[in-house]
Structure 1
Amino acid sequence: MAAPEKKSQPHVCVVGAGISGLRCADVLLQHGFQVTIFEARERIGGRILTQPEGLTPMKHATGGKHPIRDLAIATSTPLHTWNSHQNIYTSSGTLLPKAKAASLSTLLWDIIEEAFEYSEAHGASIPETASLYDFIAEKVIEKIPGDDETAREDRKLVSEMSEMWGAYVGHPVSRQSLKFAWLEECCGGEEMFIETTYESIFEAISKPALDGAVIQLKKRVTKITTPEARNSSKISVTTEEGQKFEFDEVVLTTPLGWLKRNKAAFQPALPERILQGMENISVGILEKVYITFPTAFWTEGLEDNFAGYTNWLSPAYASDTNPHQWPQEIWNLAAFSPENRRPTILFYIYGDCSTYITTLVRGKADAEHYTLLDAFFKPYYSLLPNFEEGKAECKPKAILSTEWQKDELNGNGSYCNFQVGIKDAAGDVKAIREGCPERRLWFAGEHTAPFEELGTAAGAYMSGEAVGTRIAEKYKAI
């Protein structure tokens, strides 16, 4: 009797070699699949490797599942938890007393937590036009009653402080949907930073794919042709060079912004519900500016007690460079453990401000890039303790800035968010997350993550893992 013919391993194409794609490949390899990864860049790593020096924040709810935190611990990557101190400068440039800054900040975050709870409990009845700012403005009046000057000033301060919500989602708080604010609840967790780089974490994530998958770099996908039914044919992928490949399954891990701009790449067209989801979910425009000085002059004499972050509210004193009074926020990277400290402040900018800054320096030579950014940010860092005009220690050595919204492969933005007017954000996420298994097409990425980790690196990792597991389970059932 002839031996039965050995069944070949199913072959899966993963489009995109970021966190979600690499994790998906790892899971598939563990289940015996052949995996080919197409990556449009000349390197793997996606958005995780677009940070200057790799520095990036990491939020998590204490006690919750967080694979990136767990990988950081496993790889001895140092983590930093910020102290509870903060500096808040008013619109006139005056530093608020610490007690008042702490009290108002606590009040604001209590209101935001209430908004999350209210959103989740009453979302069905909340108007689509309602914003998170609307909720905050109403609660501020309730929690700071009275018509005296102090009450009015405190209400104004809390309202201005709420604008910094944009540094979490990439758009102003007035555009954040209240109806679906609960989908942003991960932003309420403990704030942590990786003190060094993602290098060790990334090595752990990427090693299985590097060892077991075929990775093709500079391979830009332009067309994906899906069968009308699973059993009718395989799924084909066409690249920019006109090469055509066939696979048993394809997993798209490209950013949401890329999907929005490349819907026509899918033939036949994607189901209407998925197209709606891609259109309805927004992409944030969050950027970062790192300013490094010869020394951390702002911490001199303060040791470890300098605030973890500093806010400049609606600055009215920089009308020549910031006439729109965009608020500013920094994280103090000199607060890291002694071996990892650096004399650097990290500005988070979002919305119109980030678009302005990115456009301002786009294509500029290094010297002009430095001059333009220093002119914009100096009104803020010059208010920090111990600043002296003309002092060498107070003149930046280097200024680095991200340009995500100018990067097509980053989806021309940062991460997904949910803006006023969206009708069924949870359904939109679920639709994209479900994908088209009947057409051998799947989606992964931070925009398809579990609700508690949407818009995060951990969410991207978890989404890749989930899709890999789903594909493996489907083949087990065959």
Structure 2
Amino acid sequence: MGKPLHVGIIGAGLAGLRCADVLLQSGMKVTILEARDRIGGRVCQSNVGGASVDLGAHPSGPNWIHGTQNNPLVEISERSNTITDSWDGPQATFDTAGKQLGPALCTKVADFMWMTIDRAFTLSQKDTANIPPSKSLLDFFKEELEKTGFSQLEKDACLELSKMWGGYIGSPIERQSLKFFYLEECLEGTNLFVASTYKNILQYIAKPALEGADIHLNEPVVAVDGKNRSSGTDSQVLVRTSAGKKYLFDEVVATFPLGWLKRNKAAFSPPIPQRLSEAIDNISYGQLEKIYVNFPATFWRNTDTPVTSPSFIFFSPTYVDHPPSPYWNQDCFSLADLPQSCAHPALLFYTYGACAEHVVSKISPYSPDSEEYYNILHDFLHPYFSRLPGYDAQSPLCRPTSFLATKWQSDSFAGNGSYSNFQVGLANGLADIETMREGMGADRGIWLAGEHTAPVVGLGTTTGAYWSGEEVAKRICDTLSKKN
């Protein structure tokens, strides 16, 4: 009624864009302040070998839609003519010596891993109160292995495969909390690989904001001064940017990544409430990176004995000279196996933890088009892709034409990492998430949104970010309705 409420949204990622859509539909005035020179946040694309690829910081976001049941991104992907593909099935697995596991052993080990994951979810859901905070998912794996009649070779293979969970959370498996493992759960249904990238999905979600909101790019926010609702006055929230600009809003939605919040609590005035500050500290932030490598041709498919899987697992290798870390394992996907219109001769590697830190530290000084950048990534990945069938060191078809690696842990706007996760030592994980979800909207007009404030089945995903923006917008509408 009367003058429209003016809401400021910090960040033009999926959370901010969806929030803007709902608020605009409710007749509010919306201004978005985005630190980057583009919209999308951690949903973005680049080019490798002439093909567009997703750089997103999470496998559950770009490149994937995890879970099709009641997932709004599935419908949006269909409406936006986004091409997706299902890649469920066995992965070709290479042991610590670089030899491919036989089909029977590969199936046995994979079945054990996923059955153990299911049991861990069930235990975490039903008995979380009795699980000590110090117990990890790796501890549970070891306990379950002792109940089997597996040979030592089979047990070793199971433990190596369990390390691949790090690619889901961005951290080693011994840091995954068993007590709060249920918070890692995603939606039910098929996992879809977004073959044609998230570009059309992003454009579809952004359209209402692009048409109806006032969007300011290159405006990093450095300070947010909240209102005092208890004073009974109609005070506003003051937002300041790095360029010294000041904005006044009736309400503010802050979609800062969790990693940014951890490093920038002093940006808020009055200080963040103690319980919220504790929650921000308690929930962990992963480090997942991607490396794309393009070839002149798909040599691993052009052979008399090609691998039949579109994806590969490499156990932590004994044939690679690397720093002393047990997590040099790699998860790899063949982009040549995408639907024909999207297929290109490239491999996508996921890396995390100490290994990801090592790679990023090596390539950071160099431009992606430099010889040094190429050589570093070639030396790092060559021991892996050279194990694939059809590889011939003398063939130019097996010589990569280009590499592209993400560096999210060096990106301050991304919070110097990838996404939230739940690690050992966590005592009140669900309460921490609920506290961040609540934000400071009721008292100060500052609402938090982003994947770390999503419903449990959306935590750490693009779907969760989308939902979080939607939910905050609804809560702001409810607040206005009650006030009127």
Same fold (TM over 0.5): yes
| Residues 63 and 197 in structure 2, CA contact (< 8 A), matched pair in contact too | no
Q: Count the aligned residue pairs.
A: 466
What stretches of structure 1 move > 6 A for 4+ residues in a row? 302-305
Q: Deviation digits for residues 125-165 of structure 1, max 9, x if unmatched? A: 100100001011111121x226xxxx111011001110010
Q: How does 1:50-129 map to 2 (within 5 A)?
A: 53-55=52-54, 56-62=62-68, 64-129=69-134
Q: How does 1:414-453 map to 2 (within 5 A)?
A: 414-436=418-440, 437-453=442-458
2:197 equivalent to 1:197: yes
Secondary structure class of the residue paired with 2:425: coil
2:141 equivalent to 1:136: yes
Q: Give how far 1:190 is off.
A: 3.2
CA distance in 2, matches of 1:384, 1:187: 33
Match of 1:11 among 1, 6, 26: 6
Match of 2:251 among 239, 249, 252: 249
Q: Give how far 1:176 is off.
A: 0.3
Q: Give how far 1:50 is off.
A: 5.3
CA distance in 1, matches of 2:304, 2:41: 38
Partner AA of 2:385 in structure 1? Y
CA distance in 1, matches of 2:41, 2:305: 37
| Residues 280 and 422 in structure 1, CA contact (< 8 A), matched pair in contact too | yes
CA distance in 2, matches of 1:262, 1:369: 31
Q: Which residue of 2 aligns with 1:36?
A: 31
Q: Which residue of 2 aligns with 1:228?
A: 228
Q: How does 1:66-465 map to 2 (within 5 A)?
A: 66-142=71-147, 144-145=148-149, 151-186=151-186, 190-229=190-229, 231-232=232-233, 233-301=235-303, 306-319=308-321, 321=322, 324-325=325-326, 326-365=328-367, 366-436=370-440, 437-465=442-470
CA distance in 2, matches of 1:249, 1:406: 31
2:44 equivalent to 1:49: yes
CA distance in 2, matches of 1:386, 1:187: 38
TM-score (norm 1): 0.94
Q: Give how far 1:301 is off.
A: 4.8
Secondary structure class of the residue paired with 2:424: coil
Greater share of helix:
1
Secondary structure class of the residue paired with 2:416: coil
Does the C-alpha gap of structure 1 residues 259 and 50 become closer, same or farther in structure 2, counting only changes over 3 Å?
farther
Secondary structure class of the residue paired with 1:334: helix
Larger deviation: 449-458 or 180-189?
Answer: 180-189
TM-score (norm 2): 0.93
Q: Which residue of 1 aligns with 2:57?
A: none
Secondary structure class of the residue paired with 2:196: coil
Partner AA of 1:419 in structure 2? Q
Larger deviation: 12-21 or 228-237?
Answer: 228-237
Q: Deviation digits for residues 327-368 of structure 1, max 9, x if unmatched? A: 111011111111211111110000000000000110214211
Q: Give how far 1:242 is off.
A: 2.2
The percentage of aligned residue pairs carrying the same residue is 40
| Residues 434 and 443 in structure 1, CA contact (< 8 A), matched pair in contact too | yes
| Residues 86 and 102 in structure 1, CA contact (< 8 A), matched pair in contact too | no
Larger deviation: 25-34 or 335-344?
Answer: 335-344
CA distance in 2, matches of 1:134, 1:188: 26
| Residues 257 and 410 in structure 1, CA contact (< 8 A), matched pair in contact too | yes
Larger deviation: 295-304 or 227-236?
Answer: 295-304
Larger deviation: 163-172 or 356-365?
Answer: 356-365
Does the C-alpha gap of structure 1 residues 289 and 269 become closer, same or farther in structure 2, counting only changes over 3 Å?
same
Larger deviation: 397-406 or 100-109?
Answer: 100-109
